[in-house]
Amino acid sequence: MSTRVRSLVLLVAAILLVAAPRAQAQLPPDQMTSLALPEVGPGWIFVLDAGFPSTAAARVYIVDTGRLKVLGQVSGGYLSNFVLAPDHHEFYSVDTFYSRGWRGTRTDVVSIFDAKKLNFSGEVEIPPKRLLIVPKRDSASITPDGEFILVANMTPATSISVVDTKARKFVGEIETPGCVQAFPSGNRQFDSICADGSILTVQLDDSGKAKGKTTSKPFFDPGKDPVFDQPALVGSRAYFDSYYGNLYEVDLSGAEAKGAQPWSLITAADKAGKWRPGGWQTVAVEPKSGVLLVLMHQGGDWTHKQFGTEVWVYDLAQRQRVKRIKLKTQGYSIFATNADKPMLEVLDLQTSMQEGTGQLEAYNLTTGKFVGKLDELGSPFVIYGP
Amino acid sequence: MDKIVEQMTRAIAQRTSRRSFLARVGKVILGAAAIPLLPIDRVVRAADAAAGKLPKGIEDDTSCDYWKYCAVDGYLCTCCGGGSHDCPPGATPSPTSWVGTCRHPSDGRDYIVSYRDCCGQASCGRCLCARTEGEMPLYRAQLDSDLIWCFGAPTMMYHCSTAEIVGVKS
């Protein structure tokens, strides 16, 4: 650009700047409001930030994975769990509080939030025994009809507290000796996994009390090939991946759980390359596409919590691996969504236990391509779906 | 293993007045525990395999590589004003814990190590060390390091993690 032309451009710009305020009306004062959420969408996920390094206040980021945007937050307490009403009208945070923050009297509650305004709308006090652990998904859950919330306890004796969501009342406690967690497997039924590799199925009556209990045959050998304790759940079918790379499918629909013959997720070559599952939430299923996803890394024995470098995709019907997705950064928890197309959501925890720099990465499940990321998510451990 | 857990429970019981609680805890843990033989045997094998190459911090109790920390998971008390088997001021040792087996780098013995949390202060947040040798999922609770192991302590508020030798594996 010549000097003369540049001077002319600057002159015009200066005139416009001076003239602009006269040509426009002044801005009206802002009116400040609180926004409301739309209906829960199929591409939404709920990311539980355990709040490390303090852990005193957990929170759940509500994320639209299509836009990779945080829509709002549900605030929790000490190592809280999250529960979503199946009809999406309420969110629940299962919390422990001490009356003076880190000291004082312990109170455990199910805190209730309306799903539009995210206002706190009530609480149900439960026995101060809930399982306190780096958050695992099935430490609290809800029956498919939304009637009962099931909260795992450990003192270290194990039991389940039952909360009636309609009456907003604590119903009672069901002992589950030697068995932990609550996988909801029917409107009046849940399952817990036991130390010997069996499954305890508990049937409830309409008031939420235990009506029957059945222990299955062990479906795996915890001494030889331990399964991870956060299976993918689709309806009343559970998909457990194991430390040594096997997949155990369990039918939880009946009064007695039934394990199927396990199948291997890894070939002899994978085994030689020391590939195995690992991380936190290590397995997911995308039911519409009929695929199973497993977070994989290369490592020796006892590397079951190592970050994953790849997600392996399996055709569930064929029991065949169909794809390997290389992750941009290492992942710790995975989940699948399918709003308009199948997507893989990966939580990366990396240094966030100390620095709170966890992030979410999204991949197109069909092409395996990285789509985008959302950062500054604290220390995110668990992904819940709608 | 039952014997080890029994010895451990007894050793812990000698240090605490919460006997009735511990009797109960002991029963729960023992009841669940015909169990951990295999994982611990595997740890020894893993240690065998690793022998020869010792990491730099194996004798430094503020390092995550310190030999006793082979299955520790949390903030190291040595970075928080405590010791490898002492709580920082104001925190209380938990009477309950998960267990691991670690090989001493020079005497070659396998020690049963009790990973006792220090409880009753807010989280320390320093020197995160998450090692997983022999670590098991929640259904094997006594080998799960992600639990807040403050059962029986005055509060369940986790501060930091220690590693205490409770015996030699025979």
pLDDT digit string, tens, across residues B26-35: 434 433 333 3
- Are A58 and A42 contacting, i.e. CB atoms less than 8 angstroms apart? no
What is the least distance, in Å, from the CA of B164 to any CA of chain A?
20
Residue B103 is assigned to a structural domain of this protein: yes
* A 225-264 residues inside an 8 A Cβ radius of B: 226-229
Residue B47 lies in a domain: yes
Spatial CA neighbour of A76 closest among A90, A94, A53: A94
Give the model's pLDDT for residue A23. 60
Task: With respect to residue B15, please indicate whether it lies within any of the assigned structural domains.
Answer: no
pLDDT at A21: 52
Task: Evaluate whether residue B26 is within a structural domain.
Answer: no
Q: What is the pLDDT of residues B145-166, one digit of tens each?
A: 999 999 999 999 999 999 999 9
Structural domain that includes position B49? 37-168
Within a domain: residue B139? yes
Beta-carbon separation of A300 and B46 below 8 A: yes
Chain A residues with CB-CB distance to B35 below 8 A:
195, 222-223
Its ipTM equals 0.90
**Pairwise CA distance, residues B82 & A15, whole Å:** 69
Other CB atoms within a 10 A radius of the CB of residue B127 amount to 18
In a domain, B138, yes or no: yes
User: In chain A, which residue ranges form alpha helices assigned H by DSSP?
Assistant: 3-23, 268-272, 352-355
How many domains does chain B fold into? 1
Q: Which of A131, A157, A229 is opposite residue B28, by nearest beta carbon?
A: A157
Q: What is the pLDDT along chain A (386 residues), one digit of tens a residue?
A: 555 656 655 555 555 555 555 567 899 999 999 999 999 999 999 999 999 988 889 999 999 999 999 999 999 999 999 999 999 999 999 999 999 999 999 999 999 999 999 999 999 999 999 999 999 999 999 999 999 999 999 999 999 999 999 999 999 999 999 999 999 999 999 999 999 999 999 999 999 999 999 999 999 999 999 999 999 999 999 999 999 999 999 999 999 999 999 999 999 999 999 999 999 999 999 999 999 999 999 999 999 999 999 999 999 999 999 999 999 999 999 999 999 999 999 999 865 556 678 999 999 999 999 999 999 999 999 999 99
**Does residue A106 sit at the B interface (CB-CB below 8 Å)?**
yes
> Can you read off the two tokens belonging to residue A103?
């000291």
Task: Please check whether residue A356 touches B, CB under 8 A.
Answer: no
Beta strands A283-286 and A263-264, pairing class = unpaired
Phi, psi (deg, nearest 5) at residue A121: -125, 10
Residue B131 belongs to a domain? yes
For residue B86, the domain's CATH number is 2.60.30.10
Average pLDDT for chain B: 78
Query: Residue A165 has what DSSP assignment?
Result: T
Note whether residue B3 is domain-resident: no
CA angle A20, A25, A29 (to 5 degrees): 120
- Residue B64 touches chain A, beta carbons under 8 Å: no
